Structure 1
Amino acid sequence: MREEELHRLLTVAAEDVRPAHPATTGWERARRVRRARRAASAAALAVALLTGGTALTLRPAAPPAATATPEESPTPLPAPVQTPPADLAYPGHPLGRLGDPVGATLSARPVRKALALHQPVDPTTGVAGRIRVLGDDGVVRDLDVVTPAPTRDAGGNEAVPLKSGSLSPDGRTAAFAQTDEVIVVDLTTAAVRRHPLKGYLEQVLWSGDRLLVGGDDATYELDPSTGASRKVPVSPWNMAAPDPTGQPDLLLELGGAPGDLRLHRVATDGRGRGLDQVPVDFRALPPGNRVDEFYGRGWLNGHRLARAAWITTGSMGSLEGVAVLDARTGVVTHLLNLGRDRWKGCCEVLGWEPGGVVLLRHNPGGLLRWKPETGEVTGVTRNLFGAVSLSAG
């Protein structure tokens, strides 16, 4: 028998012989199978990752998904020409107690700070009553330490002594123009001082700790603590009450004839009269809206100047209104149209409150609050007849 045939015979015979350790052999075979499967899976995964990565690299980038956002509705700006609502709301205000009965005398109970002065005038007879002081404690006091006489001019025309500029911005002092003198009352002590000044004096106005007193012939700047005074080149009728935090030596006059209204800066520190003049500008208003003539006291708040006026809106003229101007440029930014059914000269501005709120008279309806930036108009008090002065700069 040849060697090749013997080898085949032995191989066939060995195939029927079981291994001596079947478990060990089985586990070894299973390990080889698992190792082979694991290697095959790893190879497949590598191929998949390589293929996918190549595809992602070659694929053009998809545009980012658009994020859906709700459309924003911009808050509409109030119209520059505004009107009060037909039915005013009266949400409550400390000045609402101005019409309360007198509860004390100033001599017996001085104030820490006065919110307002009020001199009642009977609307049917024109008879003026005594001046009252509303303290920050809500109590109305009778100004019993002095009785100022009515102001009068050279022609004998008289007016109540309480003016819109009588109360100092800090609410501690009151001033009353009189012929040939001015009366100053410390409301925190009830002390009275009289300072002689020549002329028919009718208007008073505080500028910082100084007092401006004037009439048809002259305007004086007075130091109430010393009585020292000097003449200043401003009109007592057209000068605006300065912002208490502003520049004390720079005053503003606002006035002029219809069609030639001007804003005039006046230096009172010895640099001479008149730094510049700018015409009142109505380009920020809709066409056909303008101021015809100003009246009453103007009041500064920062760079905003508010003053009562007779206005024209569209085709209607001789309307009562209030204007707010940019004191730097003379541009009228807002008008409040108060209509015709008012007393003539009904709506004098009395000052500003914090937050850009204008306080004004509204005869025969008392006091109003107007916020030009929002158009909101609300009532403060009803049927408050007579003169009012507020500690509102």
Structure 2
Amino acid sequence: MRDEDLTRLLTLAAEEVRPSHPAAAGWERARRVRRARRVAGATATAVVLLTGGAVLALRPADPPAPTTAATAAATPVPNAPVQQPPEQLTYPASPLNRLGDPVTASLSNRPVRQALALYQPVDPQTRAEGRIRVLGDDGLVRELDVVTPARTRDASGNEASALKSGSLSADGRLAAFAQTDEVIVVDLTTAQVRRYPLNGYLEHVLWAGDRLFVGDNDTAYELDRRTGAARTMPLSPWEMVVPDPAGRTDTLLTLGGLRDGLALSRWTQSADRTDRGNRPLDFRALPAGNRVNEFYGRAWQRGDQIAQAGWISTGGKDGLEGVAVLNATTGVVTRLLDLGRDRWKGCCQVLGWEGDAVLLRQDPDGLLRWRPATGEVTGVARGLYGEISLAAG
């Protein structure tokens, strides 16, 4: 077989196919592409051996977990509307670097002054969950030993970790865990636990300043932690945007929808009513062929910007993982971070803001920091797998 034939075989095996349903098909396509590449690699090896060429070693069937973001961008491009991480990440010094450190104390013996993060490790092979850990601003990792939240479940019996991205308050003093028929709130500065009865298969928690929102599959509640009373809010608990802790919290935002129906909704509250205004997302600030197809995870606001992860299209390619930044007033999407296709499905949830930077997870490896204004992407913490909540609203 000639070199030209071998090149054509490999190209055909890895050819992109555009799906009509990117959110569902992107992950399946990545699996097919990897399989096709392995088949092509095996064929090429056999040809070389038969013709007396050099012996090539076959790659393992399951690729190792990536340790860096695998994209082609080499240097940041300031103000570029579509950006990519570098091939090799750097890890500048940060208090969050210690998120994966071993536990050295218990919360009951050493409450924190302020928590920087909560982390629940999960074994990627067995899915066994460890105890929730608390990273304090003193750099010590503590075990949350004063309570063991049960896994959340919905009416159909689907279960998930009790630690959610919105569990930790922005000031790092309180942690909330949704449970079936109750909400648990832990004061991390005193290690005191309080339980609030609230009917429902509760799954979501979200802090808006000092306000706590809790939700089940389709209903959001605002809990008065002083009295324990709760009122129903006419918002989707899946789509609520975590507001800027330094901004107003009397107006709440939701962000959701599918493809051409993506919209930013503003909910303005008064004494006796909640008014809603919808604004379709506007992608005209991006080059043609670049857009968000579907959001996932929690959206986070900082000033006039909102960041959320989703499945995106760039340059006509669908089913990519990415993060979008949009204007909280106009709904104009101003930046996309293209994280590629060959990743774990739903890999890259946004976990909050740190100044002008977006913090996001990168399963199965750790945390990333992205500065949309400059295009800089750096690593934050390596080797993390599990659930994380940051005091980074």
TM-score bracket, shorter-length normalisation: 0.7 to 0.9
Amino acid at match of 1:378: T
Instruction: Report the Cα offset of residue 225 of structure 1.
Output: 2.8
Amino acid at match of 2:390: L
What are the within-5 Å matches in structure 2 for residues 261-280 of structure 1?
A: 261-270=262-271, 272-280=273-281
Amino acid at match of 2:151: P
Which residue number corresponds to residue 28 of structure 2? none
Q: Does 2:345 match 1:383?
A: no
Which residue number corresponds to residue 18 of structure 1? none
Which residue number corresponds to residue 353 of structure 2? 352
Amino acid at match of 2:387: A
Runs of 5+ consecutive residues of structure 2 not aligned to the other structure: 1-75
Instruction: Report the Cα offset of residue 294 of structure 1.
Output: 0.4
Work out the CA distance in 2 between the residues paired with 1:107 and 1:269.
41
Work out the CA distance in 1 between the residues paired with 2:161 and 2:266.
29
Contact 1:363 1:383 in 2 (8 A): no
Which residue number corresponds to residue 207 of structure 2? 206
Equivalent position SS for 2:262: strand
Which residue number corresponds to residue 314 of structure 1? 315
What are the within-5 Å matches in structure 2 for residues 75-114 of structure 1?
A: 77-114=78-115
Larger relative contact order (CA 8 Å, sep ≥ 6): 2
Structure 2 vs 1, CA of residues 275 and 337 (structure 1 numbering), >3 Å: closer, same or farther?
Answer: same
What are the within-5 Å matches in structure 2 for residues 281-296 of structure 1?
A: 281-296=282-297
Which residue number corresponds to residue 163 of structure 2? 162
Work out the CA distance in 2 between the residues paired with 1:175 and 1:386.
17
Which residue number corresponds to residue 327 of structure 1? 328
Instruction: Report the Cα offset of residue 77 of structure 1.
Output: 4.0
Instruction: Report the Cα offset of residue 276 of structure 1.
Output: 1.2
What are the within-5 Å matches in structure 2 for residues 120-159 of structure 1?
A: 120-159=121-160
Instruction: Report the Cα offset of residue 275 of structure 1.
Output: 3.1
Contact 1:209 1:223 in 2 (8 A): no
Instruction: Report the Cα offset of residue 151 of structure 1.
Output: 0.2
Count residues in correspondence. Answer: 318
Amino acid at match of 1:346: C
Which residue number corresponds to residue 336 of structure 1? 337
* Cα offsets for 1:315-347 (capped at 9, x unmatched): 211000000000100000000000011110000
Structure 2 vs 1, CA of residues 269 and 104 (structure 1 numbering), >3 Å: closer, same or farther?
Answer: farther
TM-score (norm 1): 0.79
Structure 2 vs 1, CA of residues 380 and 239 (structure 1 numbering), >3 Å: closer, same or farther?
Answer: same
Task: Give the greater-gyration-radius structure (CA).
Answer: 1
Work out the CA distance in 1 between the residues paired with 2:205 and 2:272.
23
Instruction: Report the Cα offset of residue 384 of structure 1.
Output: 0.5
Which residue number corresponds to residue 371 of structure 2? 371
Amino acid at match of 1:123: P
Equivalent position SS for 1:167: coil
Could you list the runs of 4 or more consecutive aligned residues of structure 1 that deviate by over 4 angstroms after TM superposition? Answer: none
* Cα offsets for 1:276-318 (capped at 9, x unmatched): 1110000000111000000100000011000001000012110
Amino acid at match of 1:82: Q
Contact 2:78 2:375 in 1 (8 A): no
Amino acid at match of 2:241: A
* Cα offsets for 1:156-176 (capped at 9, x unmatched): 000000000000000000000
Instruction: Report the Cα offset of residue 270 of structure 1.
Output: 4.0
Work out the CA distance in 1 between the residues paired with 2:371 and 2:223.
34
Structure 2 vs 1, CA of residues 105 and 132 (structure 1 numbering), >3 Å: closer, same or farther?
Answer: same
Amino acid at match of 1:372: P
Structure 2 vs 1, CA of residues 268 and 232 (structure 1 numbering), >3 Å: closer, same or farther?
Answer: farther
Identity across matched positions, percent: 67
Contact 1:256 1:293 in 2 (8 A): yes
Q: Does 2:260 match 1:253?
A: no
Work out the CA distance in 2 between the residues paired with 1:149 and 1:76.
45
Equivalent position SS for 1:284: coil
Work out the CA distance in 2 between the residues paired with 1:92 and 1:129.
26
Runs of 5+ consecutive residues of structure 1 not aligned to the other structure: 1-74
Which residue number corresponds to residue 52 of structure 1? none
Which residue number corresponds to residue 41 of structure 1? none
Amino acid at match of 2:384: L
- CA RMSD of the aligned region, Å? 1.3
Instruction: Report the Cα offset of residue 124 of structure 1.
Output: 0.7
Work out the CA distance in 1 between the residues paired with 2:201 and 2:167.
17
Amino acid at match of 1:311: I
Contact 1:233 1:268 in 2 (8 A): no
Equivalent position SS for 2:116: strand
Work out the CA distance in 2 between the residues paired with 1:110 and 1:217.
35
* Cα offsets for 1:21-64 (capped at 9, x unmatched): xxxxxxxxxxxxxxxxxxxxxxxxxxxxxxxxxxxxxxxxxxxx
* Cα offsets for 1:238-294 (capped at 9, x unmatched): 000010111111110000112110000012444534431110000000111000000
* Cα offsets for 1:86-141 (capped at 9, x unmatched): 00011121111110000000000000000000011111111111100000000000
Work out the CA distance in 2 between the residues paired with 1:153 and 1:377.
36
Work out the CA distance in 1 between the residues paired with 2:332 and 2:298.
18
TM-score (norm 2): 0.79
Contact 2:182 2:199 in 1 (8 A): yes
Contact 2:283 2:332 in 1 (8 A): yes
Which residue number corresponds to residue 181 of structure 1? 182
Amino acid at match of 1:363: D
Amino acid at match of 1:120: P
